[in-house]
Structure 1
Amino acid sequence: MAAYRYCEAVTALQARNFSYGIRLLPEAKRLGMSALYALARRVDDIGDGDLPPERKAEQLLRTRDLLDEIREGAVSEDDTDPIKVALADAARRFPIPLEGFDELIDGVEMDLKGAEYRTFEDLKVYCRCVAGSIGRLSLGVYGCEDVKLGSEYADTLGLALQLTNILRDLREDAVNGRTYLPTEDLVRFGCEGGFAQARPAAGADFTGLVAFQAERAQRCFEEGLRLLPMLDRRSRACTAAMAGIYHRLLARIAAEPESVLRGRVSLPGWEKAYVALSGLAGGRS
């Protein structure tokens, strides 16, 4: 189906870390996951785009309407929106909890409203919307005998990935006027001045702050990765590859905290491919 091919192209170009894992899935699941990530990418792009806030709100509302059409079975193959067509087909094939997309939109709306996070519990709400939701949506495609427990682990793994993203994008977000780390942690480590500069502010314990957040993310990885034995071999490989890439990224940030103030930390393509192959072989990188 051409709609799926479009979604695969979007995923390959714009969700590169995730695409390494998705390639390991059998065709039906690979296409279903591509449809999921294509719509998630659209929602993210709305939030990160240059449109005025009211226009962004309108586009998010239209995305909620799109989800309602899919729930109602009101999407035909002749529809001109390939992402809608592909996701509607995937939702017929797999028990995808589409309400996860509503949560993702909730998270983007929190960004549009300039939400701030005083405590880690506050931040967890946001992370579960924008990342945990993707884990739970993915589980609908993977399949899992214990859906309730599996969803909890998928949610926690999503939290680990989002905490890693927050550390990786610390400088970029600060330049764009966003700070996601909890205010109580910023005050504790003397970092409430922000991260818009290439070096930590005088007197700030930036290394301590990053170490604290990295340890928190590590605990989430350890719990969330309990999901792996609950999945079939190929779905387990996909999840291990995606998580493994972010896990290595976290380790790199923890080893050199100030690197996140100089630019976006990333892994080279060969290392991502190695992690993906390790996942297929049953390893956890």
Structure 2
Amino acid sequence: MPEALLGEARDTTRRVARTFALACRLLPRELRDDVYLLYLVFRTLDDAVDEGRPDAPETVAAVEDWCAGAPARGREATILEELSARRTIPRGAMADFCAGMREDLSGRVIRTEEELDRYCYRVAGTVGVVMAHVLGTDDDARAMPAAAALGKAMQRTNILRDIDEDRAEGRVYVPVETIERYGSLEPGRREGLMRDGIARADALYAEGVAGIPHLRCGRRAIAAAAVMYQEILRQIEREGYGRRPGRAVVAPRRKVVVAARALAGPRRPGAASVRAAA
């Protein structure tokens, strides 16, 4: 892999996915670099779609074609082809991720929690599944559903954190039925909606963390990523469930402390399961 491309992958992960980058430090170097490259593929596709780039449909199509067995074309498919020579890259999960990108390209409105769950699987649960294949498992039947659940938990966390930012860009990921049930997305009027979303995400985190012991490698890194990302939900709670506009931000030092405490041992209810996963 060209050193310039690997450098871009490292820089992209550290710049755009700070929580994930912190967790990646716990991975062996040779595996860490491949994870950075995978992240670059996912990030490039997601950014192309989110930013409405003219080449977004073709960028997604190139990966879809690779998933269907066609020769690699384009940077992202070429990275996947090279990675697949030394890691297991599940093409079905990658194809499902591309289906999620197609949903975003179409501007499809999410109407029900079931539709949101499917969307979260496509754009994030698939990332968990790909990661689990790369890290290896001792029981795919248990590890893969858990990996998908953890990805979905993180995507639901993103949605709750970014409500105002997404609305400013004309995007709403909270289901229509949920908005109607609780009455509003407006700051100061969305506590019920936020509580509901946090409960759903926390349940997915619990399911996801339960599968981490089945990973052959990277258990500490994934456990750290899970607890640091889940802390965003706790920050939303501390700030009053969206009482004020803007995104909830967990300070980097807080992330490190939370991860260190969780991996070191049980300090609060629920921490024991994270330690066992690590």
Q: Secondary structure at the match of 2:85?
A: helix
**Structure 2 residue 194 is matched with structure 1 residue 210:** yes
CA distance, structure 2, for counterparts of residue 106 and residue 80 of structure 1: 18
TM (norm. structure 2) is 0.86
Q: Deviations over 1:113-164 (max 9, x none)?
A: 1212222111111000001000000001111011122100111111111111
Q: 2:109 aligns with which of 109, 116, 119?
A: 116
Q: Which amino acid in 2 is paired with 1:161?
A: M
Residues 128, 159 of structure 1: 8 Å contact kept: yes
Q: Deviations over 1:26-57 (max 9, x none)?
A: 122212211111100001111111435xx422
Q: 2:209 aligns with which of 217, 222, 225?
A: 225
Q: 1:102 aligns with which of 95, 99, 102?
A: 95
CA distance, structure 2, for counterparts of residue 5 and residue 30 of structure 1: 12
CA distance, structure 1, for counterparts of residue 244 and residue 46 of structure 2: 23
What is the deviation of 1:218? 0.9
Q: Secondary structure at the match of 1:111?
A: helix
**Structure 2 residue 8 is matched with structure 1 residue 15:** no
In structure 2, relative to structure 1, the CA distance for the partners of 1:37 and 1:275 (3 Å cut) is farther
Q: Which amino acid in 1 is paired with 2:224?
A: A
Count of paired positions: 266
Matching residue of 1:154: 147
Matching residue of 2:57: 57
CA distance, structure 1, for counterparts of residue 208 and residue 87 of structure 2: 22
Matching residue of 2:268: none
CA distance, structure 2, for counterparts of residue 279 and residue 231 of structure 1: 18
Q: Which amino acid in 2 is paired with 1:132?
A: G
In structure 2, relative to structure 1, the CA distance for the partners of 1:190 and 1:280 (3 Å cut) is closer
Give matches, 1:1-285, under 5 Å.
Answer: 1=1, 2=3, 3-52=5-54, 55-65=55-65, 67=67, 81=75, 84-191=77-184, 194-195=185-186, 199-200=187-188, 204=189, 206-232=190-216, 235-259=218-242, 261-278=244-261, 281=264, 284=274
Residues 236, 279 of structure 1: 8 Å contact kept: no
Residues 210, 257 of structure 1: 8 Å contact kept: no
What is the deviation of 1:212? 1.1
Residues 241, 278 of structure 1: 8 Å contact kept: no
Unaligned runs of 5+ in 1: none
Unaligned runs of 5+ in 2: 266-270
CA distance, structure 1, for counterparts of residue 36 and residue 30 of structure 2: 10
Residues 167, 260 of structure 1: 8 Å contact kept: no
In structure 2, relative to structure 1, the CA distance for the partners of 1:278 and 1:86 (3 Å cut) is farther
CA distance, structure 2, for counterparts of residue 80 and residue 47 of structure 1: 16
What is the deviation of 1:89? 3.0
What is the deviation of 1:84? 4.9
Q: Secondary structure at the match of 2:109?
A: coil
Residues 107, 130 of structure 1: 8 Å contact kept: yes
CA distance, structure 1, for counterparts of residue 30 and residue 40 of structure 2: 16
CA distance, structure 2, for counterparts of residue 67 and residue 9 of structure 1: 26
CA distance, structure 2, for counterparts of residue 89 and residue 278 of structure 1: 37
Residues 185, 209 of structure 1: 8 Å contact kept: yes
In structure 2, relative to structure 1, the CA distance for the partners of 1:80 and 1:172 (3 Å cut) is closer
CA distance, structure 1, for counterparts of residue 177 and residue 95 of structure 2: 29
Percentage identity across paired residues of the two chains: 32
In structure 2, relative to structure 1, the CA distance for the partners of 1:8 and 1:88 (3 Å cut) is farther
Residues 80, 89 of structure 2: 8 Å contact kept: no
In structure 2, relative to structure 1, the CA distance for the partners of 1:96 and 1:46 (3 Å cut) is same
CA distance, structure 2, for counterparts of residue 26 and residue 257 of structure 1: 39
Q: Deviations over 1:227-250 (max 9, x none)?
A: 122124x51111111111111111
Structure number with greater CO (CA < 8 Å, separation at least 6) is 1
Residues 231, 255 of structure 2: 8 Å contact kept: no
